[in-house]
Structure 1
Amino acid sequence: MMTVTFRGTGDAMGVPRVYCDCEVCNEARSGGVNRRYRSTVQLDSADFGTMMIDCGPDWGKQMEAAGLRFVNRILITHAHFDHIGGLPEWADACRWLGVKGEAYAPAEVINEIIQRFPWLSRNLTFIPIDQPCAFGDWKVSAWKVNHGKNGYAYAFRFDQKDTGIAWAYCSDSIGLTEEQQKPLYQLDLLVLGTSFFKENFPYETRSVYDVTEALAMLPVWKPEQTLFTHMSHDIDLRASYVLPQHAGFAHAGMAITVGK
């Protein structure tokens, strides 16, 4: 059994945006329900302990909120700053504690990270995850997905041994090809990035699905449950949106149990 806890559900800029005076940002600024750190989830299991997916610039605050003083394993979806900006802080924690953290990512993501932060390898061990690997009873597979104008990202699928239970984390994607959609079919849980409810900017300028596009795909993918993350200040958690019973918005501190 695995517990998935959302430590951040915001997009690249988080909520509130420092420049913005909209109602959602002001509510978030006052400590309301719309305050969103950059997207990160914490994974806990008796099989493998605690690990995270992504390590953005809010990592230190997220660790404090979780009551964690250290985590020794992080999976990384891609090398954009909102997903790796906390790596220097994590590496510094490793240095002070005299341990080496384990950073799992596809090889091309690792290469990008090391080009930007060549000194991280002193305190972090980078482990390619181009082939499926196992953490306890879970097989973890990474696959490349379209990230629109921002290039590419990777998503992770978790399959529990002998149970047929599977879930996926796909935070940054849009316009997935048929091949890229295959790992998303018939999941017990889908965590999907949707920055806007309805994004009206030209398609070629966009990088993440909006909620309306995601809702149109759910009858195709048929997940048992879907939670949206990577949300901008366009989405107001106080509002009433028309969503299917099996879909909803994630929020910081929300915990979901997957598996047996």
Structure 2
Amino acid sequence: MTITFLGTGTSQGVPVIACGCEVCTSTDARDKRLRTSILIEAEDKTVVIDSGPDFRYQMLRANVKHLDAIVFTHEHKDHVAGMDDIRAFNYKQQGAVDIYADERVQLALHREFPYIFENYKYPGIPQIDLHLIGTEPFDIGSISFTPIQVMHYKLPILGFRIKDFTYITDAKTVSEAEKDKIRGSKILVINALQIDTHISHFTLEEAIAFAQDLGADETYFTHIGHRMGKHQDIDPELPQGIFLAYDGLKLEI
């Protein structure tokens, strides 16, 4: 199974519009971060976690030719805004794309994309099959997902464990019970927004402490903002086994 980081940036992406800081003007490709998302490719299924505003370009850049499903972590715009662009896959595959989301996210999808759910199906609109998920494990073909509930300030969102790989974005606090679901992961992906304190995201220091507490063989930070600093400066200073992820990075699990 291959994991590809389609995007590793925060809600504004990096560079940020109209910003002239050293990160936003960096020529290092690792400092160019689209909105956070990953691609999971197994032998029988191809799945994306979250389809943010950059979804179309992410599909083109990663040369994705087939998509079976999208799994959503939560309803914020930087995670759902690009779902309309599954239309290309509908046309090529001649069928609907499976959408996995909890009840709150499904309500948000109805608000954001009402035309998809109207009785009259306007020609060319996205075709989806909605699947309700919660805290119980579920399968998409051979890929088994174990939901992990974390808190994005006061908003509960879902991360997911797949085999020995755990993916969490937009976390600020995680209960001990949910940490127990993560323990034993060989690869952990967790958000690390910036160095300074933030109300709803792990800071760099908090993410490092979380990673060291969980003890995965390798930890990768994602959902990174321009206030983190340049990749070439931050990554070498991280503890052993902890890395900044970057767009296009591939992991084998």
Residue equivalent to 1:224: 217
TM-score by length of 2: 0.88
Structure 2 residue 137 is the aligned partner of structure 1 residue 132: yes
The amino acid of 2:105's aligned partner reads: V
Runs of 4+ in 1 over 3 A off after TM superposition: 94-98, 135-138
Structure 2 residue 196 is the aligned partner of structure 1 residue 199: yes
The amino acid of 2:162's aligned partner reads: F
The amino acid of 1:84's aligned partner reads: V
5-14 vs 109-118, which moves further: 109-118
The amino acid of 2:246's aligned partner reads: H
TM-score by length of 1: 0.86
132-141 vs 53-62, which moves further: 132-141
- 1:65-92 C-alpha deviation (Å, 9 max, x unpaired): 11124423111111100000101122x3
The amino acid of 2:211's aligned partner reads: L
Give the whole-Å Cα distance in 2 for the aligned partners of 1:72 and 1:50. 5
Structure 2 residue 103 is the aligned partner of structure 1 residue 107: yes
CA positional deviation for 1:94 = 4.6
Give the whole-Å Cα distance in 1 for the aligned partners of 2:101 and 2:29. 34
Q: Secondary structure at the match of 1:7?
A: strand
Q: Which runs of 5+ in 2 are unaligned?
A: 122-126
The amino acid of 1:251's aligned partner reads: Y
Give the whole-Å Cα distance in 1 for the aligned partners of 2:216 and 2:197. 26
State, as a whole percentage, how many aligned pairs show the same letter.
27
- Matched residues, number: 241
Give the whole-Å Cα distance in 2 for the aligned partners of 1:49 and 1:35. 28
Structure 2 residue 204 is the aligned partner of structure 1 residue 211: yes
Q: Secondary structure at the match of 2:233?
A: coil
Give the whole-Å Cα distance in 2 for the aligned partners of 1:223 and 1:119. 43
Trace 1:165-176 onto structure 2 (pairs within 5 A): 166-176=164-174
Structure 2 residue 3 is the aligned partner of structure 1 residue 4: yes
Residue equivalent to 1:36: 33
- 1:154-180 C-alpha deviation (Å, 9 max, x unpaired): 111113xxxxxx211101111222223
Give the whole-Å Cα distance in 2 for the aligned partners of 1:253 and 1:95. 25
- 1:122-142 C-alpha deviation (Å, 9 max, x unpaired): 611111122311234442122
Give the whole-Å Cα distance in 2 for the aligned partners of 1:67 and 1:116. 27
| 1:133–1:145 CA distance, 2 compared to 1 (3 A) | same
Give the whole-Å Cα distance in 2 for the aligned partners of 1:171 and 1:73. 19
Residue equivalent to 1:239: 233
Give the whole-Å Cα distance in 1 for the aligned partners of 2:186 and 2:69. 24
- 1:97-153 C-alpha deviation (Å, 9 max, x unpaired): 44211111222221222232223346111111223112344421223210015x221
Residue equivalent to 1:162: none
The amino acid of 2:30's aligned partner reads: V
